[in-house]
Structure 1
Amino acid sequence: MDFNVILTNEGEVDGFNSLHQKGIKTFHFPMIKTVTNKVKNHFSLDDYEYYIFTSKNGVKHFFENKFIKSQSLSNLKTICIGSKTELVLKKLNIKPVFTAKRSYSHLMVDELKKIKTLNKKKVMLIQGNLAANYLFENLKMFCYLTKFVAYNTKLIKIVNRELEELLSKKKTYTVFTSSSGFLSFDKLYDVKKTSIISIGNSTSSFIKDRGYEPIVTSKMQSYEGIADSIISYLIKD
């Protein structure tokens, strides 16, 4: 059977390579675009004792700011969510003092409470403009927390005729890795023409609130995890 999977995330899609190995076709049509938030209020990296990164985009756009680029990173203490975020930091020669292995905010909060590393410390949380408030509201209970919006997420606003034709002519499965990605798709295309696959519970809740039902919600919030879930669903051994 011919399986056609549409990927809507911005950036790399290497995490979905296992789909190709199973003969599943993939098509990449990003539904969002992230841009660096150029801040006017500059600060010294020495002003904060710890910096928390929740995504690769956070790392990328934080260090895109010229006033950050001009400073030494040798004494920077970082905490991050997920191995992918950790890897991006290490490429900048920054070794995180702590990495939450599971990409869930509530698990990170629980772990940081237990190890007490941030207790009464001055901390900066780096996120995007659409990030949920859960981390900020819970972390500020035990540290002196400042939020830094490193990037803004913009929805794609132009219909892609190739994607529109694919949705009309083929049986497709569309992967959504964020609420904003689904919102963009819903504004441009007929969601009923595809089967919905979601990266996790938060994105699935958003999709359901808009009147749709994902056929698959990945248990692991990673591209590799979604790919495994897709394979398990589509290919019955």
Structure 2
Amino acid sequence: MEVIKTVPIRTTPFELKNYSLIFTSVNGVNAFFQNQFKPNEDFTSRCFNKIYCVGEKTKRELRKYGFGTFKVLKNAEALSQFIIGNCQHEKFLHFCGNLALDVLHQDLPLQNIRYKKIVVYHTEELNPVIHEKYKAIVFFSPSGVRSFAKHNSLEGMTLFSIGKTTSKEIKNYTQRIIFTSDDNNLVSILSLIRNHYKS
């Protein structure tokens, strides 16, 4: 069921020299390239762009455009901790949506790390009203949780979540047990669901 929709924002591309790039979603990657940004991945040059991303799905999307990643982390919290511990002298541009979590925006400047959020797509919460009754629901993003929960109850259903960040958002709406996948990908969440109903 579609509970959110995303629309790329037209942005005039600018020089990325001397910046490291952050992507936390597939939508961010697609909007970045649709706006004709051009990373420099020439490692013989001192001004190449290191690319950091969240999730294997985001990494695969970058690969479709011909670009590799310097570091892949499971979620924004893990990425923030890695940058704070290892990348104090880099400057970061984060290409994301308007509803991106503020973890990086809050954590990195506090550590005097130069960071700027570049919004390249807009996420709209559709807030549907669901009349049918279901036994379980699977959430794939915090914005999806907010959109669904605005007009629908989470009570009486088994709740599955693709990762800790999404589970944290679910906890704002219910005290029920949340089954969270170990990895932020479709294979992991499907395995979790299958194993839950086998037991």
The question of a shared fold, defined as TM-score above 0.5 by the shorter chain, is answered with yes
* C-alpha contact 1:36 1:61 (8 A) present in aligned 2: yes
Instruction: Give the aligned CA root-mean-square deviation in angstroms.
Output: 2.5
Instruction: Select which of 58, 80, 91 maps to 2:64.
Output: 91
Per-residue CA deviation, residues 111-166 of structure 1 (Å, 9 max, x unaligned), is: 334443xx33332112221122111222332532111112121112454xxx634x
The equivalent of 2:7 in structure 1 is 35
- One-letter code aligned to 1:202: T
TM-score by length of 2: 0.81
Structure (1/2) with the larger helix percentage = 1
- Structure with higher Rg: it is 1
Hey, what does 1:107 align to over in structure 2?
A: 78
Alignment equivalent of 2:107, drawn from 118, 138, 146: 138
- Counterpart of 1:164, as a letter, is H
Amino acid at match of 1:87: R
For residues 38-82 of structure 1, the C-alpha deviation after alignment (integer angstroms, 9 at most, x for no partner) is 34xx352335521111111110122222xxx1x544446222122
1:196-211 equivalence runs, <5 A: 196-211=159-174
Instruction: Decide whether the 8 Å contact of 2:128 with 2:148 is kept in 1.
Output: no
- Distance (whole Å) between structure 2 residues aligned to residue 215 and residue 147 of structure 1: 31
Q: 1:58 aligns with which of 18, 21, 28?
A: 28
- Matched to 2:34, the amino acid is E
Instruction: Give the aligned residue type for 1:110.
Output: Q
Gapped runs of 5+ residues in structure 2? 42-47
Which gives a bigger RCO, structure 1 or 2 (Cα 8 Å, sep 6+)?
1
Distance 1:134 1:111 in 2: 13
Aligned 1:1-237 pairs, distance under 5 A: 29-39=1-11, 42-65=12-35, 69=36, 72-75=38-41, 77=49, 78-96=51-69, 98-100=70-72, 102-116=73-87, 119-140=88-109, 141-159=111-129, 164-165=131-132, 167=133, 171-192=134-155, 194-236=157-199
Task: Check the 8 A contact 1:198/1:214 in 2, yes or no.
Answer: no
Separation in structure 1 between the aligned mates of residue 117 and residue 178 of structure 2, nearest angstrom: 35
Structure 1 unpaired stretches of 5+: 1-28
Q: State the alpha-carbon separation in 1 of the partners of residues 99 and 68 from structure 2.
A: 27
Q: 1:54 to 1:158 in 2, by over 3 A?
A: closer
Paired letter, 1:218: S
Q: Percent of aligned pairs with the same residue?
A: 28
Task: Provide the rounded CA distance (Å) in 2 between the counterparts of 1:209 and 1:120.
Answer: 36
Aligned with 1:206: secondary structure? helix
Q: For 2:175 and 2:84, how far apart are their aligned partners in 1?
A: 36
Flag the 1:178–1:212 CA change in 2: closer, same or farther, 3 A.
farther
